[in-house]
Amino acid sequence: MLNNTKVYAFVGPSGTGKSYRAQMVANKYNIRYIIDDGILVKDSDVVAGSSAKKAATKVETVKKALFIHEPQRSDMINALKEMEPESILILGTSDGMVKKIAQNLNLPKIKKIIYIDEVASKEEIEDARRMRITEGKHVIPVPTFEIKKDFSGYLLDPLQIFKSGLDKTPYISEKSIIRPTFSYLGNFTISDAVFREIIEYLATKAEAVSKIIKVRVKKNEEGPSIYIEAEVNFGISINAELQEFKQKCIKEIERQTSMNVVTMKIMAKKVKLPDSVDLSLY
């Protein structure tokens, strides 16, 4: 047990904005570590765990959030032992939940519980619940780039906030909004045609590429793997130009779809010759 660790808890019903305000509460109490739905966050970086929001059902989400299963529980306990946090903030929907998490992770007794209605107005809580109910979105208190790979294939929006903390000190905090797999709004998919249209559009801006011949997309849990066949313009440095085009495609696809591109391969299948080229010379 981490006897010297001060344990705090932040409690509120599901969908009331706890994760949204977690960093604000942590800043007030000089807490660098947060446990939220199965993950351990240090200074806005994910340092251990896997988010319970990826679970296929609500029941499994609760079990992961409570660290019921091995080896999830052991992995988190070992991570905490290694980091030896001076203080930690546990997020939960009830006193019983945060106490159970502390118990399962062999943490000391909770020193103080902060409730959502102490840091958010009634109107703010209602707005947060409305977003959860109508859009099925959840907030995780880490920047988007920290969880992009973990949540590849799920709706992911960056949220940057500039506001005053509990002690009126201004701060900027980027968080990530995701729609979990069990969302009552259903799963969402992105058509292969979307990837092709993005790539074809970028090809019109690339001097090296004459046209896109084929785009093949293979989807998996980590994200899409994309294969491209292109016609290139005569006289280019194929390796260098296609590598630059590839990076632009990856960046734009990830920006527009919030999916992590696992692999992308581009093959030059044809060369487009300018009308002025005399083929008899070659």
Please, what is the Cα angle at 44 between 43 and 50, to 5 degrees? 115
CB crowding 265-280: b at 16 or more within 10 Å, else e: ebebeeeeeeeeeeee
Locus of tokens 């809580």: 125
Domains of the chain: 6-178 (no CATH), 192-281 (3.30.70.1350)
pTM of the model: 0.54
CB atoms within 10 A of CB 128: 24
- Give the pLDDT score at 234: 87
DSSP 15-53: TSSHHHHHHHHHHHTT--EEEETTEEEETTEEEEE--GG
**Helix or strand or coil: residue 119?**
helix
Report the range of poorest mean pLDDT among 53-62, 87-96, 106-115: 53-62
Instruction: Give the model confidence (pLDDT) of 103-114 as tens digits.
Output: 999 999 999 999
Rounded CA-CA distance 196/202 in Å is 10
Q: What are phi and psi of 252, to 5 degrees?
A: -75, -40
Q: Please give the average per-residue pLDDT across 243-253, as a whole number.
A: 91
pLDDT at 14 over 70: yes
Instruction: Give the model confidence (pLDDT) of 117-166 as tens digits.
Output: 998 888 877 877 776 655 555 555 554 444 455 555 544 455 444 444 45
- Give the pLDDT score at 135: 56
